[in-house]
């Protein structure tokens, strides 16, 4: 069926889209403007969009020296950025290595208690993180895992693993078992079948789940705040350093935010096509 749009319809549609984009993009746009201003111009009354842009905030973050009106402060924001990247990438990688085979097992083998185990894993996402964190802090201190990357990556599995497990499981379930049976009967082992048939066919779903897990891991705040000290903390926690005794450094916070959302934004934009395709592919049966 061909649907012809009238002129009015086109205009209204464009207007509606513009409003939606403005609504969602405005905070990011505003942060971008803030990051190019000094604290004085940000805080003036009334606020104005007319100002002389400065890169001082970015310079301060990159050089690690924070110049405030009162004093100069050492800050290690680039270290935080590296921590974010390292923690997110390793956590998602580990979650994929563990979660994808598990998802396959949950999808294909209906063993006793499989639903219960799968649900228990999902329920990690229901519990408030603090509930887990307080006892975990004690355990981690005894086990020597407090303030280590390994400990953090382990705890990050609470975020990544259930997500990957449940999304990818759906994709495996959507693959007709006959397609895998056909490959087995053709003479290939189950592992070859998993590698050559199940993995490629669930590929878009695995990519989408990985990307989502990455974004969740990247945005996590509370785990690293409680379990790690300054040199292991990601950007989300690192940004707290800008709340100083002499006042809140809005300009630097804005610059830090811009720098910390850039990697995920770039990744999401790049993978947008796969993400949408991957997340909707499972919903529509061919």
Partner 1 sequence: MSTLELRGATKRYKKDTVVDNVSFQVAHGETLVLFGPSGAGKTVLLRMVAGVVELDEGAVFIDGHDMHDTEAEDRGVGMAFQNFALFPHMSAFDNIASPLTVGANSKQVIKAGVEKVASLLKIDHVLSHAPRELSNGQKQRTALARALAASPPLLLLDDPLRNVDAKLRFEMRLELPQLLEKQGATVIYVTQDYKEAMALGDRIAVLDEGRIQQIGTPEAIYLTPHTIDIARLFGDPVINLFDVVGQRDEQGTYVELSGQRLALNEDKAACIDTDSVLGVRPESILFVPEGTVNAIPISIEAETPLNEKVVTLALTEGSREILISRPAGTDAPSSGQAYVSIDQSALMLFNKNTGVAIGESHDAKNSDGVAA
Query: Residue 220 and residue 88: Cα distance in Å, rounded?
Result: 9
Decide: is 182 part of the binding site for partner 1 (CB under 8 A): yes
Structure tokens at 93: 């990688």
**CB closer to partner 1, 57 vs 180:** 180
Return the structure tokens found at 4: 């012809």
Q: Which of residues 148-177 bind partner 1 (CB under 8 A)?
A: 176-177
The least distance separating partner 1 from the CB of residue 187, rounded to whole angstroms, comes to 4
Q: Which is nearer to partner 1, 202 or 224 (CB)?
A: 202
User: Got the DSSP string for 81-115?
Assistant: HHHHHHHHHHHHHHHHHHHHHHHHHHHH---TTHH
Closer by beta carbon to partner 1, 182 or else 265: 182
User: Of 79 and 203, which has the nearer Cβ to partner 1?
Assistant: 203
| Residue 47 makes contact with partner 1 by CB under 8 A | no
Count of residues near partner 1 by CB under 8 A: 17
Q: Does 179 bind partner 1 (CB under 8 A)?
A: yes
Q: Which of residues 224-283 bind partner 1 (CB under 8 A)?
A: none
Span of 56-64, 140-148, 163-171, 183-191 interacting with partner 1 by CB under 8 A? 183-191
Helix (H) or strand (E) holding 248: strand 247-248
The stretch near partner 1 (CB under 8 A) out of 31-39, 181-189, 225-233, 239-247 is 181-189
Taking the C-alpha atoms of 179, 180, 182 and 183 in order, what is their torsion angle to the nearest 10 degrees? 120
Instruction: Decide whether 27 or 177 has the Cβ nearer to partner 1.
Output: 177
Residue with tokens 């990159």: 62
Q: Which of 51, 54, 188, 240 binds partner 1 (CB under 8 A)?
A: 188
The smaller minimum CB distance to partner 1, of residues 114 and 137, is found at 114
Q: How far is CA 276 from CA 177, 197, 212, 273, 280, in A?
A: 25, 22, 11, 5, 6
Work out whether 185 is an interface residue with partner 1 (CB under 8 A): yes
In the list 103, 201, 217, 257, the residue contacting partner 1 (rule: CB under 8 A) is: 201
Per rule CB under 8 A, is residue 191 in the interface with partner 1?
Answer: no
147 three-class SS:
coil
Q: How far is the CB of 92 from partner 1 (least distance, A)?
A: 24
Question: Within 13 Å of residue 105, how many CA atoms lie on the same side as its CB?
Answer: 12
Token couple for 99: 């979660």
- Sign of the C-alpha dihedral, residues 255, 259, 261, 266? positive
> Which residues have C-beta within 8 Å of that of residue 31, sequence separation ≥ 6?
254, 257, 258
Which listed residue (1, 45, 50, 186) binds partner 1 by CB under 8 A?
186
Distance CA 228, CA 151 (A): 9
**189 binding partner 1? (CB under 8 A):** yes
Residue 108 within binding range of partner 1, rule CB under 8 A: no
Among 178, 245, 283, 284, binds partner 1 (CB under 8 A): 178
Q: Which of 6, 74, 187, 284 binds partner 1 (CB under 8 A)?
A: 187
> Can you give the binding site for partner 1, defined by CB under 8 A?
176-179, 181-190, 197, 200-201
């Amino acid at each position: 069926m061909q649907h012809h749009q009238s002129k009015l319809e086109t205009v209204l549609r464009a207007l509606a889209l513009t409003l939606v984009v403005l609504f969602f993009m405005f905070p990011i746009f505003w942060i971008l403007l803030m990051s190019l201003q000094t604290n004085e111009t940000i805080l003036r009354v009334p606020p104005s969009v007319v100002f002389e842009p400065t890169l001082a905030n970015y310079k301060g973050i990159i050089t690690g020296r924070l110049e405030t009106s009162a004093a100069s402060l050492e800050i290690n924001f680039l270290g935080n950025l590296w921590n974010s990247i390292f923690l997110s990438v390793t956590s998602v990688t580990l979650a994929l290595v563990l979660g994808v085979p598990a998802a396959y097992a949950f999808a294909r083998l209906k063993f006793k208690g499989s639903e219960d185990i799968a649900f228990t894993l999902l329920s990690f996402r229901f519990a408030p993180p603090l509930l887990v964190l307080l006892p975990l802090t004690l355990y981690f201190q005894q086990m020597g895992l407090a303030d280590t990357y390994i400990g953090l990556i382990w705890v990050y599995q609470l975020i990544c693993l259930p997500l990957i497990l449940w999304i990818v499981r759906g994709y495996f379930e959507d693959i007709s078992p006959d397609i895998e049976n056909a490959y087995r009967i053709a003479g290939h082992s189950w592992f070859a079948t998993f590698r050559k048939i199940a993995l490629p066919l669930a590929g878009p779903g695995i990519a989408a789940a990985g990307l989502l897990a990455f974004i969740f891991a990247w945005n996590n705040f509370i785990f690293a705040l409680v379990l790690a000290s300054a040199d292991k903390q990601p950007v989300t926690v690192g940004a707290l350093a800008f709340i100083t005794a002499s006042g809140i450094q809005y300009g630097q916070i804005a610059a830090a935010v811009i720098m910390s959302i850039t990697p995920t934004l770039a990744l999401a934009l790049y993978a947008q096509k796969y993400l949408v395709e991957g997340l909707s592919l499972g919903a529509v049966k061919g």
